[in-house]
C-alpha cells in the first residue's frame, strides 16, 4: 500500500506540473491567441479595434490577472472546455477530440497490444530456441521489418495493395456513402478501411518487441536461478515462462507502457498517409493551421495518457517484481 500511495502521489504531482506547463507555454508565446485569426482578416483590409475585441471575445481570449486565468484554466480543464477551434470554427475542441479519439484508440491501441503480445512471445521462443530456425526466422524478419520507417511502409502498401492491386481502399476510415453507427455493415466497412493502416503499424513495430525480448531473455537464461530450476528437473516450458520470461519481460513492459501512452497521440504519419481521421491527423491539421486551442487540448491529452500508462506500468512492476516495493 505504501508503494502504491507513493506512485499515486508522484502521478498527481507530475499531472499538476504538466497541466501548469500547458497553461504557461501558450502565454509565453508572443501575441495573443486571436492574432492568427485577425491576421487572416487583415489580408482583406485593416481590422478595427472593435472587430478585434469582438474576435477575442468570440474565441475566448482570457482576461484578468494571471492567477484568475490560471484558476479559470483549471476549471476548464476539469470540464474539458478548451473553447472553439480556429480551423473548424464554430465547432468546439471537445467535440473534435471526441470524434477523432475513438478511431485512434481502436486502430493504434489494438495494433499496439497485438504487436506487443506476438512480439514478446516470438522473442521468448527465439531466445529459448536460439541457434535454430525458430531463432533465425523471427530475428532476421524482425530486423528487416523494423528497418523501414512508418511512412515508407505505408506508402509501399498504399501503392501496391491500394492503387496497383486495388484490394483495399486508399484513404478514409469508412466509405463516403456510409453513415457512422454501430451496425454490422458499418463496422465491417470500417474494419476493411483499417487493414492497411493497421498492417503498417504492425509490421514496423513487431520487430522491436521481438528483438528486445530476445535480448533480455538470453541474458536471463544465464542467471543462477534459471540454472537451478533446470537442475531440479522442472519442465522446460515452466522454466521458460515462469522463471526466465517473467523476469525478462520487465524491460519490455516499460517500453509497452510508453508505447501505450503514445497511442492517444496516434501514428501521425500513418494517419496522414491514409487520411485516417484520428488524433494524429487532427494534430497535424491543428499545427498546419496554427489552431492553438486544439493543439493545447491534444498536447494535454497526450501528456495525461503517457502519465497514466506509466503509472499502470509502475503498479505492474510491483506485482511482477516484488523487489521494486522495497
Taking only the tens place, the pLDDT of each residue in 236-272 is 777 777 777 777 777 777 777 777 766 666 577 777 7
Q: 183's torsion region: left (phi>0), alpha (psi -120 to 50) or beta?
A: beta
pLDDT at 170: 78
Residue 6 neighbours by CB distance under 10 Å = 12
For 19-37, the pLDDT digits (tens) are 888 777 766 766 565 666 6
pLDDT at 225: 76
pLDDT at 37: 66
The percent of residues above 90 in pLDDT, for the chain, comes to 0
Interval 293-316 mean pLDDT: 81
pLDDT at 230: 73
pLDDT at 322: 64
pLDDT at 210: 84
pLDDT at 10: 83
> Which positions ≥6 away from 81 have C-beta within 8 Å?
92, 94
Alpha helix (H) residue ranges in the chain: 2-28, 35-42, 49-59, 66-78, 93-104, 110-128, 133-146, 150-157, 184-221, 224-231, 236-238, 246-261, 268-273, 279-288, 292-320
* Cis preceding linkage at 60, omega within 30: no
pLDDT at 61: 63
Say whether 84 sits in a helix, a strand or coil. Answer: strand
pLDDT at 36: 64
| Residue range 93-148+197-325 in CATH 3.40.50.970 | no
pLDDT at 66: 74
pTM for the model: 0.73
Residue 232 neighbours by CB distance under 10 Å = 8
Residues in the chain: 326
The ranges assigned to domains in the chain are 93-148+197-325
pLDDT at 153: 80
Q: Among 13, 2, 18, which residue's Cα sits nearest to residue 301?
A: 18
- Higher pLDDT residue, 260 or 9? 9
Say whether 46 sits in a helix, a strand or coil. Answer: coil
Amino acid at each position: 500500500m505504501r508503494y502504491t500511495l507513493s506512485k499515486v502521489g508522484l502521478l498527481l504531482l507530475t499531472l499538476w506540473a504538466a497541466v501548469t506547463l500547458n497553461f504557461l507555454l501558450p502565454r509565453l508565446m508572443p501575441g495573443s491567441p486571436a492574432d492568427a485569426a485577425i491576421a487572416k482578416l487583415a489580408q482583406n483590409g485593416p481590422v478595427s479595434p472593435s472587430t478585434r475585441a469582438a474576435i477575442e471575445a468570440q474565441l475566448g481570449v482570457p482576461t484578468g490577472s494571471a492567477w484568475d486565468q490560471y484558476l479559470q484554466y483549471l476549471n476548464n480543464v476539469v470540464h474539458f472546455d478548451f473553447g472553439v477551434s480556429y480551423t473548424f470554427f464554430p465547432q468546439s475542441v471537445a467535440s473534435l477530440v471526441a470524434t477523432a479519439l475513438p478511431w485512434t484508440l481502436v486502430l493504434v491501441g489494438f495494433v499496439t497490444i497485438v504487436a506487443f503480445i506476438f512480439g514478446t512471445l516470438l522473442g521468448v521462443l527465439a531466445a529459448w530456441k536460439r541457434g535454430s530456425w525458430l531463432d533465425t526466422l523471427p530475428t532476421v524478419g524482425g530486423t528487416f521489418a523494423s528497418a523501414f520507417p512508418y511512412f515508407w511502409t505505408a506508402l509501399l502498401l498504399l501503392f501496391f495493395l491500394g492503387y496497383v492491386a486495388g484490394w483495399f481502399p486508399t484513404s478514409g476510415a469508412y466509405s463516403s456513402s456510409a453513415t457512422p453507427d454501430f451496425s454490422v455493415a458499418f463496422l465491417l466497412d470500417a474494419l476493411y478501411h483499417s487493414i492497411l493502416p493497421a498492417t503498417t503499424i504492425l509490421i514496423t513495430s513487431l520487430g522491436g518487441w521481438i528483438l528486445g525480448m530476445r535480448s533480455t531473455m538470453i541474458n536471463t537464461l544465464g542467471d543462477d536461478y534459471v540454472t537451478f530450476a533446470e537442475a531440479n528437473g522442472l519442465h522446460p516450458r515452466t522454466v521458460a515462462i515462469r522463471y526466465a520470461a517473467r523476469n525478462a519481460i520487465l524491460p519490455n513492459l516499460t517500453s509497452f507502457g510508453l508505447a501505450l501512452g503514445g497511442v492517444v497521440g496516434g501514428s501521425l504519419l500513418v494517419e496522414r498517409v491514409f487520411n485516417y481521421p484520428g488524433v494524429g491527423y487532427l494534430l497535424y491539421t491543428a499545427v498546419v493551421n496554427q489552431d492553438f486551442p486544439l493543439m493545447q487540448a491534444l498536447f494535454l491529452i497526450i501528456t495525461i495518457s503517457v502519465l497514466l500508462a506509466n503509472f499502470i506500468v509502475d503498479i505492474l512492476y510491483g506485482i511482477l517484481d516484488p523487489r521494486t516495493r522495497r
